[in-house]
Structure 1
Amino acid sequence: MGEEKTTIAFDGGESAAQEKRRKQKQQKKKGAVVVVMGATGAGKSRLAIDLASVFPGVEVVNADSMQVYHGLDVVTNKPPPSDRNGVPHHLLGMIDASMEFTSRDFRNLAIPIIDDILSRNGLPVIVGGTNYYIQALVSPFLVDDVLEDLHECSVADLSDLKDFDVSGGYERLKEIDPVAANRIHPNDQRKINRYLSLHASSGALPSNLYRGKAAEKWGRVSNFRYNCFFIWLDASLPVLDRYVDQRVDCMIDSGLLNEVRAIYNPSAVYTRGLFQAIGIREFNDFFQSYFANKDADLRHKLAVSDVLNSNDDKLKNLLNEAIGKLKANTRKLVRRQRRRLHRLKKDFGWDLNYIDATKAFFFLWHVVKNLVMFKARYWFQRTCGLNISVRDNYSFEGKL
């Protein structure tokens, strides 16, 4: 008699290969989206539009917290229609400038738009430098949702704290709970106030929200709402700094001062709505002096853009100082954005496809573009099961 073979079954067991195949199937069921991230000035908007020239069905979903607002197109550096090459853009310039627009608001507006694009077999390309917007969108867990459910900080508790001093809130939060402060944007006044109110009413550290179930879910790779191909477009800091300075000069030439003059309000609150944008508060001292000029006729004759060439040394110096502040604050923003991206990759395990676009600033954009297209093609084949072939152009042979 031949030797009888015995098969041993392990209930509930799963090999590594089986687990990998199961996760791949789960991922394929999710809609595929491209997410273009990176610091200010790295070329995100340009790359998103270039993707549309290579992949069919691309529609751009803006994820910049200031570009969602209507107005100040130069200040917020919105891509003008002439540069969009007919590519549909969503959530660009549609929110009233005075409204508060949170990451939850962004998520709730963006999801139906993305789902609609996917239902038409299109390719949503999410692009923007507001990383916490993207985190709120791709992760089904949002910190604001937990804050709503906290028993320790009820609506009554918050109403009792209406006189609580939250001036200089972000710096205060850093002293109380640096971990929580590091997780939110310094201009997210609504969340800063809520964190401070939570601490004042209960003594609890806001960062404790990220323990247990929250820590397992928020922004973790295994729990993304979509099947995401992340592109991290970057360049060396010296190159980005030079580009930022040049871009600010171009923005001045393109009418930034006239935009800020049109909305200038000496009693403006720079922590709400569009007034949070870099490029407004920096000119406060200049416009205070500009409008304080008792010679109304001179003020009307002297356009804001002509101040730099005028004989008014005081105004000229104030304007130069304001432009310097704008450049410095934009460079700080670049560093803050890069730190957050490093953290997403290192601490949260996001698979960010890092693209060094330094060469693009030396007239070699095609090198950067080709590298991105190669990586995107490989990702779609490996992750989504789509065969993207190279003919005269890339095309999808499959269904998203």
Structure 2
Amino acid sequence: MEIVEKLQNPNNGDEIKLNPTSNSKPKVVVIMGATGSGKSKLAIDLASHFPIEIINADSMQVYQGLDVLTNKVTPQEQKEVPHHLLGTISPCVEFTAKDFRDSTISMINEVWSRNRLPVIVGGTNYYIQALVSPFLLDDSVEEAEINCLSDSQEDEQPDLEVELMSEDYDCAYNRLKDIDPVAANRIHPNNGRKINQYLNLYARFGVIPSKLLQEKTVENWGQVDNSRYDFCFLCVNASLTTLDPFVDRRVDHMVDAGLLKEVLDIYTMNADYTKGLRQAIGVREFEPFLRCYIMEHQKPCSESHGQTLNDQILKQNIQHIVDSPDDNEWKALLTEAIQQVKLNTRRLVRRQRRRLNRLQMLYGWNIHYVDATKSIISM
């Protein structure tokens, strides 16, 4: 296939060697790229050329549930290629970069013991950075340092503390990137608690969060030269003029495939959208629609399985709104939510592309770019 041919003949002329004996370190392939670029497709295509197993590095796809919304590859699409960390983590817990690193190191060793090539696939760059670098910024150490500083100075400048949770996450995250790109690059853009903590730390004490930790750790975090593996970095790339309409169409397909039913299954009023699976784009955006619709339409049911029946009726009614051509207040609210999902997904694409550029510029990752434009257009 064309993408695999480009992989075997990269644009920069460098040969990509996948021979496990080509280096004293174990070889690991990493496939990155913006959402919708075709990372999973490329990984599965590789299986026809190399004996591989795929390890998922998407921070939302690791969780159980929301298979449609998070766009997990289906069993049919997997084509019997072994996949790991795909829908295996409870949505009730937070799967951190440290958790990913520890789990993946063990899995890589197991894959190599079977004489197969580990292929890491995903757009969550801070997961991949945690794996690449032996110097992981540990949350427990960081929390202790921040708490210690706060305890010692809590009365000095109390008026400077700011509340950022009501701000748009993009704005708050961009502020953090301007102040401390190292700290921003290692957390999820929707991790409002951590963003808020970092910005308040800077506002109150003038402290750069990443400077709390050892200079050696900050200096080396993400540097590929210090890595435990011999990485081959591939980035599936396409122009924004190609990706934008594709991700818009993909959102429409997700809605048709039952996205709203999935969101309703985990919906809780006043939920925390900064942790776990609820961080996924496509959950928080439907809050205004679901809140209004449920408050007006959900009534106690007298039958024996009342709550279950109510949930089923709600799903049927909401699906009817999705399918209906009629214009009414519910359709307008729903359409607004869907448009917001599309907008936030396009924003995510741009963030991911910027981060990938930084990985190459700041840390010297030798990334081989694969142009997926033709493949995306043909979908």
Alignment of structure 1 residues 232-271 onto 2, 5 Å: 232-271=235-274
- Contact (CA 8 Å) 2:234, 2:369: kept in 1 or not? yes
- Contact (CA 8 Å) 2:57, 2:123: kept in 1 or not? yes
Residue 165 of structure 2 aligns with which residue?
Answer: 167
Residue 82 of structure 1 aligns with which residue?
Answer: 76
**TM-score where L is the length of structure 1:** 0.76
Q: CA deviation at 1:27?
A: 7.7
Q: CA deviation at 1:236?
A: 0.8
Q: CA deviation at 1:188?
A: 2.7
Deviations 1:148-198, CA, capped at 9 Å, x for gaps: 16885356847998x974525765575577242542432134542553464
Query: Which secondary structure does the structure 2 equivalent of 1:54 belong to?
Result: coil
Q: CA deviation at 1:36?
A: 0.3
Aligned length: 337
Residue 305 of structure 2 aligns with which residue?
Answer: none
Which stretches in structure 2 are left out of the alignment for 5+ residues? 1-19, 302-309
* C-alpha spacing 1:206/1:26, structure 2 compared with 1 (3 Å): farther
Query: Which secondary structure does the structure 1 equivalent of 2:189 belong to?
Result: coil
Q: CA deviation at 1:214?
A: 3.1
Give 2:318's match in structure 1, choosing from 297, 304, 316.
304
Residue 338 of structure 1 aligns with which residue?
Answer: 353
Q: More displaced, 271-280 or 308-317? A: 308-317
Query: Which secondary structure does the structure 2 equivalent of 1:304 belong to?
Result: helix
Deviations 1:186-244, CA, capped at 9 Å, x for gaps: 21345425534644675421243588423431111211221011100011101101110
Residue 30 of structure 1 aligns with which residue?
Answer: 25
Residue 180 of structure 2 aligns with which residue?
Answer: 180
Alignment of structure 1 residues 8-157 onto 2, 5 Å: 28-56=23-51, 58-144=52-138, 148=141, 152-154=145-147, 157=150
Residue 16 of structure 1 aligns with which residue?
Answer: none
Residue 368 of structure 1 aligns with which residue?
Answer: none
Residue 360 of structure 1 aligns with which residue?
Answer: 375
Rounded Cα–Cα distance in structure 2 between residues aligned with 1:333 and 1:342 = 14
Rounded Cα–Cα distance in structure 1 between residues aligned with 2:315 and 2:370 = 48
**TM-score where L is the length of structure 2:** 0.80
Give 1:289's match in structure 2, choosing from 285, 288, 292.
292
Rounded Cα–Cα distance in structure 1 between residues aligned with 2:172 and 2:376 = 39
Deviations 1:292-348, CA, capped at 9 Å, x for gaps: 224759965953121041656000000111110011110000000000001111221
**2:37 alignment partner AA:** A
* C-alpha spacing 1:216/1:43, structure 2 compared with 1 (3 Å): same
- Is the radius of gyration larger for structure 1 or structure 2? 1
Deviations 1:97-116, CA, capped at 9 Å, x for gaps: 12112111111111101111
Residue 332 of structure 2 aligns with which residue?
Answer: 317
Which stretches in structure 1 are left out of the alignment for 5+ residues? 1-24, 366-400
Alignment of structure 1 residues 369-380 onto 2, 5 Å: none
**1:187 alignment partner AA:** N
Rounded Cα–Cα distance in structure 2 between residues aligned with 1:41 and 1:274 = 19
- Contact (CA 8 Å) 2:55, 2:85: kept in 1 or not? yes
* C-alpha spacing 1:301/1:72, structure 2 compared with 1 (3 Å): closer
Query: Could you tell me the percent identity over the aligned residues?
Result: 50
Residue 3 of structure 2 aligns with which residue?
Answer: none
Q: CA deviation at 1:41?
A: 0.4
Give 1:205's match in structure 2, choosing from 205, 208, 213.
208
Rounded Cα–Cα distance in structure 2 between residues aligned with 1:253 and 1:226 = 42
Q: CA deviation at 1:270?
A: 0.7
Deviations 1:123-144, CA, capped at 9 Å, x for gaps: 0000000011000111111123
- Contact (CA 8 Å) 2:263, 2:283: kept in 1 or not? yes
Give 1:216's match in structure 2, choosing from 205, 219, 224.
219
Rounded Cα–Cα distance in structure 2 between residues aligned with 1:360 and 1:158 = 55
Query: Which secondary structure does the structure 2 equivalent of 1:354 belong to?
Result: strand
**2:132 alignment partner AA:** V
Query: Which secondary structure does the structure 1 equivalent of 2:236 belong to?
Result: strand
Query: Which secondary structure does the structure 2 equivalent of 1:293 belong to?
Result: helix
Rounded Cα–Cα distance in structure 1 between residues aligned with 2:176 and 2:344 = 25
1:279 and 2:282 correspond: yes
